[in-house]
């Protein structure tokens, strides 16, 4: 089967074309060595089934960015049967720059002139025949969004003859020089390789000698061939376009009008904050549009309001889907399965394993699927419409202070929903160190699954001591998470992940209405990925936890109240002392190990922390424990406070520990996939260190207020040290 590679600029409609060509049969993998996704699919258009490989979206084949190196290595190393170069017809000048580089490779090329529908709308015309003649390769007009011209494209692609590289560079002096460098490689020297050698900042000796002999020098660029060649490419493009395109007048476009508000000097930031709030409100709010009070005031006696809105609160679409999914699908289906297990006459332990272990564990994780998808949907709309680039534009100034670019903001904020899509989103960051730092701090943006810990434990704190209110505690913990994230980014960028702030030379793409098909495709991929994870990693780990908590070391099945003798209970007691500096370790006495176990079980899924309390409270207190209709686990925490006599500082430290330590299994697996090579083990250590340090500080300062003084002095000293050494470095460089 023939293989074709799809190449093109970001925003050229490459992904849309890939989806249109391959239908639903795509296969997602990773490029060897880098974290960029590699997508492959089968296309049956054009009379022959061919394999399509989607190269990363790139502007150029320069050797500086990992995506560009991947694309270059793929075309030169794996020798596809052809390259389909997707070109945005509304932005030809810059898009053809990559084309001029692709043409220099010894590979058949076909240009897919995309967005033909938009060209027509703008009353522009591109003469494909003339363009094809100028470039020396076929040019086919298509509209990936409308599915027009795809058969013609693939028919032309499968019949491409083999071809040697050609260059659009026509200046005699430069051409002769490139020719000589190529000859030095022998008869089969590749054109693109010769160009790369000339462009290199440090030329190899052979090339250097030819340059010295040839002496080609430009009046402006001298022997700066990198600048000369780039200039020659753009001049050739201008020349080609002058003869093949009907010039248009630049009018005030929709994009200009939208940007008058969206990146406005005064409105830009408030509008952005409003959009962000709306997204989280739509996804997570249990009091949609704050209608609860309004409805009750409006019609206090109405039966209709009471029935439809329950206790009066209208749920946001996200919460509504969450409830629907959990009541109908998860609870319904799993209830049926559980009932079947109980009625099947299996041994008690097997029923327990299936019901409490497997169904409970997978159910807890699957229950978050709707909200993750809703959040992901909104962020996909922002990305596909072109707004995400504006967000980076608006926020770059702030993020630069922390050694990041504005692009890092979106993945971080997505972390409030779920770390997994957030970590995947870091692919938009070109700089490896920036990506590493961002992936590491994403878990500190407390995700939806950590919310139950926050709500239950702060509820418990209120019953213990009459301080503040629950939402103040929850809110300040969120703020603490963000502060720790920004501080540790600053720390990492000043030490182990030191590097220049990545450049911010970025296209602000034309706004486009996101295609429904593409959005659905994104969501479907996401859901598939997530469900697969639930039934593999989470499935295995819940089985392990259940077994460890229900058997002792001689593999005797234990009753619920004997949980203290289980393998897990013993392990909990063993590691309990580790948490002593954090306030929830050995000082808690006989039942203190419960906190240790809860923290460990949280590594599988953060929801486990509270469900461990609930299970153990029932086991320890027996009939004396009554959770009532408490869904948030506050009673379970209160019960644990009762038996362990833990104090407020210890509880706060427990929350902070769980917020900043190693995230859940699924997030750890994602981090491993997304982090650059060799950064994973240090990341695990980083999470452990951050959580121990920050939780210890909270416990220390909370228990003995005067410890705040040395802690603050130490922190100040650290910041000053980093700032000073950065200054010193800058001076040394200058």
Sites of contact with other proteins (CB under 8 A): 59-60, 62, 64-65, 91-94, 97, 201, 220-221, 226-227, 230-231, 234-235, 250, 255, 259, 263-266, 268-269, 389, 392-394, 396-398, 400, 503-510
Which pair of tokens denotes residue 552? 């002792």
Q: Three-state DSSP class for 43?
A: strand
CB closer to other proteins, 230 vs 351: 230
DSSP letter at 41 equals E
Smallest distance from the beta carbon of 59 to other proteins, in angstroms? 5
CA atoms within 13 A of residue 702's CA, in its CB half-sphere: 20
Smallest distance from the beta carbon of 231 to other proteins, in angstroms? 5
Smallest distance from the beta carbon of 149 to other proteins, in angstroms? 23
Which pair of tokens denotes residue 384? 């596909």
CB closer to other proteins, 68 vs 607: 68
CB closer to other proteins, 398 vs 520: 398
Smallest distance from the beta carbon of 675 to other proteins, in angstroms? 22
Which pair of tokens denotes residue 587? 């000082």
Smallest distance from the beta carbon of 382 to other proteins, in angstroms? 17
Decide: residue 358, CB within 10 A, 0-12 exposed, 13-18 middle, 19+ buried: buried
CB closer to other proteins, 86 vs 354: 86
CB closer to other proteins, 148 vs 276: 276
Q: Contact 610/637 with Cβ under 8 angstroms? A: yes
CB closer to other proteins, 201 vs 466: 201
Decide: residue 443, CB within 10 A, 0-12 exposed, 13-18 middle, 19+ buried: buried
Which pair of tokens denotes residue 382? 């922002």
DSSP β-ladder status, 109-114 and 82-88: parallel
Smallest distance from the beta carbon of 425 to other proteins, in angstroms? 19
DSSP letter at 143 equals B
CB closer to other proteins, 30 vs 264: 264
CB closer to other proteins, 173 vs 308: 173
Which pair of tokens denotes residue 288? 């949609």
* CA angle, 75 then 81 then 82, to 5°: 70
Which pair of tokens denotes residue 328? 């109908």
Cα(14)–Cα(22) distance, integer angstroms: 12
Smallest distance from the beta carbon of 634 to other proteins, in angstroms? 42
Q: Crossing angle of helices 387-400/254-262, nearest 10°?
A: 40
Beta partners for 570?
none
Which pair of tokens denotes residue 578? 């580790």
CB closer to other proteins, 165 vs 509: 509
Cα(50)–Cα(430) distance, integer angstroms: 31
CB closer to other proteins, 355 vs 405: 405
CB closer to other proteins, 7 vs 668: 7
Q: Which residue has the tokens 């190449």?
A: 7
Positive or negative, the CA dihedral 127, 130, 131, 132 is positive
Q: Which residues of 247-266 are buried (b: 16+ CB within 10 A; e: fewer)?
A: eeeeeeeeeeebbeebbeee
Smallest distance from the beta carbon of 512 to other proteins, in angstroms? 13
CB closer to other proteins, 113 vs 156: 113
Smallest distance from the beta carbon of 545 to other proteins, in angstroms? 47
Smallest distance from the beta carbon of 196 to other proteins, in angstroms? 12
> Which residues lie below 8 Å from residue 583, measured CB to CB, with a gap of 6+?
646, 647, 649, 650, 653, 654, 695, 698, 699, 702, 703
| CA distances, 711 to each of 490, 703, 705, 717 (Å) | 18, 13, 10, 10
Residue 34 backbone dihedrals phi, psi, to 5 degrees: -125, 170
Smallest distance from the beta carbon of 498 to other proteins, in angstroms? 16
CB closer to other proteins, 130 vs 200: 200
Q: Which residues of 304-319 are buried (b: 16+ CB within 10 A; e: fewer)?
A: ebeeebeebbbbbebb
Smallest distance from the beta carbon of 132 to other proteins, in angstroms? 21
Q: Contact 157/4 with Cβ under 8 angstroms? A: yes
DSSP result, 682-723: HHHHHHHHHHHHHHHHHHHHHHSGGGHHHHHHHHHHHHHHHH
CB closer to other proteins, 497 vs 653: 497
Smallest distance from the beta carbon of 678 to other proteins, in angstroms? 21
Residue 557 backbone dihedrals phi, psi, to 5 degrees: -70, 130
Smallest distance from the beta carbon of 265 to other proteins, in angstroms? 5
Smallest distance from the beta carbon of 353 to other proteins, in angstroms? 55
Which pair of tokens denotes residue 389? 């680039």
CB closer to other proteins, 203 vs 235: 235
């Amino acid at each position: 089967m023939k293989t074709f590679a799809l190449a093109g600029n970001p925003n050229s409609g490459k992904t849309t074309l890939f989806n249109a060509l391959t239908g639903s049969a795509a296969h997602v993998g990773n490029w060897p060595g880098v974290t960029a996704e590699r997508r492959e699919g089968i296309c049956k258009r054009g009379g022959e089934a061919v394999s399509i490989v989607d190269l990363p979206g790139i502007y150029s084949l320069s050797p500086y960015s990992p995506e560009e190196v991947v694309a270059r290595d793929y075309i030169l190393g794996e020798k596809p049967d052809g390259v389909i170069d997707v070109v945005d017809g509304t932005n030809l000048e810059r898009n053809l720059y990559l084309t001029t580089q692709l043409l220099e490779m010894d590979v058949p090329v076909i240009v897919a002139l995309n967005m033909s529908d938009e060209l027509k709308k703008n009353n522009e015309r591109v003469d494909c025949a003339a363009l094809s003649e100028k470039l020396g390769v076929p040019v086919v007009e298509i509209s990936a969004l409308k599915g027009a011209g795809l058969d013609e494209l693939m028919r032309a692609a499968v019949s491409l003859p083999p071809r040697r590289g050609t260059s659009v560079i026509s200046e005699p002096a430069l051409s002769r020089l490139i020719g000589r460098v190529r000859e030095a490689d022998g008869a089969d020297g590749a054109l693109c390789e010769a160009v790369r050698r000339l462009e290199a900042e440090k030329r190899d000796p052979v090339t250097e000698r030819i340059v010295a002999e040839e002496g080609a020098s430009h009046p402006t660029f001298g022997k700066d061939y990198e600048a000369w060649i780039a200039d020659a490419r753009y001049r050739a493009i201008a020349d080609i376009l002058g003869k093949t395109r009907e010039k248009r007048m630049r009018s005030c476009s929709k994009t200009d009008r939208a940007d008058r508000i969206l990146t406005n000097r005064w409105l830009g930031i408030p509008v952005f904050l409003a959009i962000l709030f709306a997204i989280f409100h739509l996804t997570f709010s249990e009091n949609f549009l704050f209608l609860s009070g309004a409805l009750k005031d409006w019609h206090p006696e109405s039966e209709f309001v009471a029935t439809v809105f329950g206790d009066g609160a209208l749920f946001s679409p996200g919460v509504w889907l969450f409830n629907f999914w959990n009541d109908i699908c998860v609870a319904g289906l799993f209830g049926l399965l559980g009932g079947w297990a109980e009625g099947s006459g299996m041994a008690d332990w097997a029923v327990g394993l299936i019901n409490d272990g497997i169904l409970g564990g997978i159910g807890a994780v699957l229950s978050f699927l709707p909200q993750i998808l809703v959040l992901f949907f909104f962020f996909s709309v922002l990305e596909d419409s072109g707004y995400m680039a504006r967000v980076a534009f608006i926020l770059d100034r702030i993020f630069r202070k922390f050694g990041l670019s504005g692009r890092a903001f979106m993945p971080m904020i997505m972390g409030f929903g779920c770390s997994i899509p957030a970590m995947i989103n870091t692919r938009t960051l070109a700089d490896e160190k920036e990506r590493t730092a961002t992936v590491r701090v994403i878990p500190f943006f407390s995700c939806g699954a950590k919310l139950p810990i926050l709500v239950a434990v702060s509820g418990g704190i209120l019953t213990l001591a009459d301080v503040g209110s629950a939402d103040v505690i929850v809110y300040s913990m969120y703020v603490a998470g963000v502060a720790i994230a920004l501080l540790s980014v600053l720390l990492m960028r000043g030490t182990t992940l030191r590097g220049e702030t990545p450049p911010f030379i970025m296209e602000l793409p034309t706004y486009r209405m996101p295609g429904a098909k593409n959005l659905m495709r994104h969501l479907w991929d996401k859901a598939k990925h997530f469900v697969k994870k639930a039934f593999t990693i989470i499935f295995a780990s819940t089985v392990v936890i259940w077994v460890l908590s229900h058997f002792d070391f001689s593999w005797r099945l234990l009753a619920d109240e004997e949980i203290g003798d289980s393998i897990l209970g013993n392990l909990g007691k063993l590691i309990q002392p580790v948490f002593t500096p954090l306030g929830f370790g050995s000082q808690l006495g006989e039942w203190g190990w419960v906190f240790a176990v809860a923290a460990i079980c949280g590594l599988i899924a953060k929801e486990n922390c509270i469900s461990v309390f609930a299970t153990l409270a029932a086991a320890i207190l027996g009939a004396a424990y009554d959770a009532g209709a408490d869904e948030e686990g506050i009673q379970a925490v209160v019960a644990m406070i009762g038996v362990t006599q833990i104090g407020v500082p210890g509880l706060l430290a427990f929350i902070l520990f769980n917020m900043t330590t190693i995230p859940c299994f699924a997030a750890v697996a994602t981090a491993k996939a997304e982090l650059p090579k060799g950064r994973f083990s240090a990341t695990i250590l980083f999470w452990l260190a951050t959580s121990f340090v920050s939780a210890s500080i909270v416990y220390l300062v909370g228990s003995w207020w005067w410890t705040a003084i040395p802690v603050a002095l130490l922190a100040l000293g650290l910041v000053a040290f980093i700032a000073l050494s950065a200054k010193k470095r800058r001076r040394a460089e200058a």
